[in-house]
Chain A
Amino acid sequence: MPTPPPPAPAAYADALAAVEGWFDAQGWAPFDYQRAAWQAFGRGESGLIHVPTGAGKTYAAFGGPLAWLRAHPRRRAGARIVYLSPLRSVAHDVELALQRIAGALCPDARVESRTGDTSSAVRSRQRRALPEVLITTPESLSLLLARADAPALLAGLDSVIVDEWHALLDSKRGTQTELALAALRRLSPSLRIWALSATLPNVDTAAQAAVGPGRAATLITAPIDRPIHVSCLLPDAVDAFPWAGHLGLEMVHKVVERLDVGSATLVFTNTRNQAERWYQAIQRARPEWGARLAVHHSAIDAEERARIERGLSDGSVTVVVCTTSLDLGVDFGPVERVFNIGSPKGVARLIQRAGRSGHRPGAACEVICVPTHALELIELRAARACVDARDVEPRAPLDAPLDVLAQHMVTRALGGGFTADALFDEVRDTVGYAGLSRAHFDWCLALVREGGATLKAYPQYHKVVADEAGVYGVPDARIARLHRMSIGTIADDPAVWVRMGNGQRLGAIEERFAARLRPGDRFMFAGRRLAFVKLKDVDCVVKPTKAQPTVAARWGGAKMAVSTHLASALLRTFAGEITGGPELAAAAPILAAQAALSRLPRPGTVLGERLQSREGHHLFLYPFEGRNAHEGLAAVLALRLGRRQPATFSTSVNDYGLELMSVDPYPFEAALADPALFDPDALVDDVMAAVNLGELSRRQFRQVARVAGLVFAGYPGKRKTLRQVQASTGLLYDVFRRWDPDNLLLHQAEREVLAQSFDHSRLAASLRALSADGLEVFDTPHPSPLAFPLMVSRINETLFSTEALADRIAAMRADWETP
């Protein structure tokens, strides 16, 4: 299509004056950085705006495109501005905010969102012509790209705004967004892309990933630094405070004392189960708050979540216990206070959560951290030091995940088709795939064309098919429908709806959990006490109950590891390099106990402890590299120890260290003296071998398989039609390993296990530390404060065995026979 003529500067300048006028009418004055962003847009530039949350980023990004729209109206309706938001719940608030300013400046322009929540009536209206300003999510944008008329619908775009880019950047959703942006740049060559991000140490990478590699990116920032106050709610006496645990319910009364139902408050937790439990505990303490107290997490029905978010805006809901589901949010909510229960896990995350409070530009934000066990006091001191120094974790795009590429190929084949050469160039126009080899691209294309190299002989497999001109499309309507249903990169476990007898839907729980319920079992969900009635097709039918819950609803999902930044600060805090503060004063008794039983960990050497208990023989190591690296390290060590002498180890990890436990005696002392145990050289091979032993890469393969279209996500309600083609990914993994061991998706799953599940670089670092800096091992008569949480945590236990299966079963049965 022809490039539009260069802008008439006068028209754009006039339109900008109108934007300023609108600001004026609101009683606002634009910040300098907002004006700078508008000017840069007028010059045709793309780039990244990074300022702290609550500083008016949305207007900085939207002012330019809107002025452009006003200066260059078109007669034909159609999309001009796409506003990408990572959360569909946020999309609605953005829609309202943008409608206000657009309604004043471009009254003819439609401002509408299109997400998974959009009604079918609105969708079908949008089918004729997209609104001028389209607010959508990465998944819904990919769905648009999968429409046959995508080129016509999107060719007239002037600009794309990518909100909360830092939240997407280092995930597969970020990769999916990069690919979609590359497709949009091709469809509309004059497209300008502006990303919005919170503070990152590597803004250049983030900007490049948004605008495309090798292109000029303008960075817009502002000397706005909102003060952030991190404080810690201290337990009355650390002696009475538990040494382990993650729920933190001991602290409920102290939190409740500080909650004010008159001011909007978010109480952040780390898991959905924890959110339910905290909601329940607060409700018990303050029954009179009624509906002003609410619980919000991703498994709760979208309508209920939207109701809570509206309530938070209009003041009818004030205290919300939530998970990451409310980490992100628009700048228009009136949140006054923020609590964070448990480990903040990362500095950026704590700042993000703190940023939800005090939403006036320049106003300070404040977060009150609540420890769930004694060691977290030390972690919170470390976190406060990092926040004060603004020592934030960097984020970078993923390196060429082939599952996302395979999905995108089918999307582009549906959306008007592609030729191989053109798509290769387009895909390499992303930071994530800039280094993609033609061989890997061709392998992916072969995967969606004929199922990969090994499927050449199976002519019934046709996902994408090329016509005589070499243009790939999807001829089979059934495959097209299945693909549209499974676009996206978020791997959920198969789920069933939670429904009342009258049909009212409360949300979704995992099928695995529902399948284990027996009639009469009671659990908490969406803040209600429910009794299980029956499982009927895809519905888990429940009824309200007053009695106490008997089971806790659990959700899978990866546990987040503490960041390298925070872990290193934590180690420095243990070693006395970060000092002072009420947290450390409160933690003094536990530090003294640790020092007396073994010693305090410090940078330079790795601390180890050995212990014999009624359970068996324990080895603890504390590398402080985060739970993922520890999981990998535990796997490698279990494998290497098991090779010296057949054994079965149960392993347990947390962010501080790991435990290996053998029921039968194992000569740890001799093994630890052997430097080969920590040899970093054979690391990759040993991790992969250990992974197969511990069935870990099956778990990772599930996500890869889901994104690449090997399994269909467990959408409630879609099960019956797809039953014929449902297989557990464990089974699929076995079939692939038997017949197609060189499949690149298997390799990718293994790579992801290494990189993500085990934090490969941190794992290698901890092995290097163990082999170079050495290990100091202490025999302890009782579990030390560091050992105790590992010993009692059975939740994330993994088993590694080099014993024959029949021997293991015999051992298990012997256990039962001897009391």
Chain B
Amino acid sequence: MPLPEGLYCLMAEFDRPGDLVRAAQAARKAGYRRMDCYSPYPLEEAAEAIGFHRDEVSLVTLIGGLLGLVAMFGLETWIAVWAFPVNIAGRPYFSWPAFVIPAYEWTILWAGMSACFGMIALCGLPKPYHPVFNAPNFRNGATSDKFFLCLESTDPKFDVAESRSFLEAQSPLSVVEVEY
């Protein structure tokens, strides 16, 4: 696959979270869909404004937890009943109450690992290179105190001149073109 080139997005920088949220709402209302917001801390309102409501992290975690539960309880049962049956003070081979605790721990272990690594994978990370880092002002502010709205060039409604004037009407600090 050839490397994409040309314009990736138009990026507007804002000083305050409220400005970003209002700009994102306006962009969505104007018909833009392929866009993203960048903020230095979790900003739920911005995610809602660009129409991102549902994430699959909970589902991944549930599946992970159930797998951990089944894996450990199954392993214990297999070991105690078939692989290495030992008579411990006359207790039954299948002494399930004792098996609950390691199975409980592994449910948490697998669910926790799934939550973390599932989140990372669903975000498409690790991704050391991304076009937004090419914006000259992005790294200066996106992870400390500035808020960014990015209208991607692949959006059917995107037009460089028109989108730029749209963004400039949202009273940003600046609007820059970001190349791949």
Partners in one complex: no
Residue ranges of B at the interface with A (Cβ–Cβ < 8 Å): none
